[in-house]
Structure 1
Amino acid sequence: MSQFEKYHPILTPHYTFDWLTKVRAMDVFHLCQQVDAGQPTMLTTADYINQTMREIFHDQQLVWAISDRQTDQFIGRAGFSPIDMTTKTATISVELLAKMVTPATLSELYQRLLTFGTDELHLTQLTVNLPVEDADSPTILSKLGFTAVTAQQYRYQV
């Protein structure tokens, strides 16, 4: 059994982290339209979901669909992609539907990923690569102990 298979669902006070296969493919498709380069289709979205799950079960990444706990509405995806358990390093990704991007949401998700990565997975270095238009995350990441490598990249070292 994959080490990562057991890591779902994961809860925060307001959100549920669960496999991408637990949410509607149409919801993931809408997120892919917003954040991915190119022109995603339902077929490429289904392929993305299947490939992501294969990589999770081979301990190559650990990505979840994020849903609001009160409404059960899909709000985005987040996780560690890529992740290397040999070197204890990972890149954190948080991609939310535009209407869900708030400082409170970002803070709760980054805090949970940082805690999970260091306490549960024993990762020693975490990197976040921010999109150019992200104005809230630099402050949030700095408060969590990340240091700026560049204007768009932040690193946390245990």
Structure 2
Amino acid sequence: MLNLDFVFEQFPELETDRFILRKLKMSDAPNMFDYFSKDEVTKYYDLATFTSEQQATDLIERLLTRFEEGKQIRWGIALKETDNLIGTCGFHSIEPEHSKVEIGYELHPNYWNKGVMSEVISKILDYGFNKMELNRVEAFYDPENIASRKVLEKNGFIFEGVLRKRFFEKGNFLDGAISAILKEDYFK
């Protein structure tokens, strides 16, 4: 069983070659609204397309509260040179008794197909397996979201199957593909 108290004492800031992975702040709301107001971003996401900046503010508040409660850690992906938020990535559905988390992410479309999520997920997996001592990181995604599957595969996730009508989102039951990476896969 994991003891994750140290994770939730102070938000862990991480750094990659191009990005700072940091705690979200309320001043990120305009940038978050900018990408969540695009249908192509919410197409495979469990949120409706945003219509007001207040929705971004509310989401940031929820994510920060869930961190304070020890239920989730969601890093803001910020450009090193400007500190502008371009997306988020992190762990939710944290199950310390199983040493398991679920990973989730989204990114502004201006940064798609530029290796951003591969770089970010790699750093977050390093934190998860080395600092949090996780045994399993899993990801659920829409089976039609090929880009998500590819970024997971680049980071060592193995496709495990499709759970039929696993989620109820936007008024419909949807299948959920699941991929995962285990500690032994990561350290091979």
Give the TM interval when normalised to the shorter protein. 0.7 to 0.9
Any residues of structure 2 matched to 1:4-153 within 5 Å, and which?
A: 4-21=8-25, 23-34=27-38, 35=42, 36-132=47-143, 134-150=145-161, 152-153=177-178
TM-score, normalization by structure 2: 0.73
The residue identity in structure 1 corresponding to 2:8 is: F
Shifted more, 102-111 versus 129-138: the winner is 129-138
Task: Name structure 1 gaps, 5 residues minimum.
Answer: none
Contact preservation (8 Å) 2:26, 2:57: no
- In 1, the alpha carbon distance for the partners of 2:50 and 2:154 equals 36
SS in structure 2 of the partner of residue 145 of structure 1: coil
CA displacement at 1:135 relative to structure 2: 3.2
Query: Which is greater in Rg?
Result: 2
Single out whichever of 21-30 and 111-120 deviates more from structure 2: 21-30
Structure 1 residues 54 and 25 mapped into 2: Cα distance closer, same or farther (>3 Å)?
Answer: same
- More strand by percentage: 2
Q: How many aligned positions are there?
A: 158
What is the identity, as a one-letter code, of the residue corresponding to 1:148? F
Pairwise CA distance, 1:140: 3.8
Which deviates further from its counterpart, 62-71 or 137-146?
137-146
Normalised by the length of structure 1, the TM-score is: 0.85
User: The residue matched to 1:37 in structure 2 has which SS?
Assistant: coil
Deviations 1:117-143 (A, max 9, x none): 111111111111234554344344334
Instruction: Note the aligned Cα RMSD (angstroms).
Output: 2.3
Gaps of 5+ in 2: 163-176, 184-188
| Alpha carbons 2:8, 2:70 under 8 Å: kept | yes
In the alignment, the residues of structure 1 paired with residue 125 and residue 59 of structure 2 have an alpha-carbon distance, to the nearest angstrom, of: 25
Assess, with a 3 A threshold, how the Cα gap between structure 1 residues 141 and 43 changes in structure 2: closer, same or farther: closer
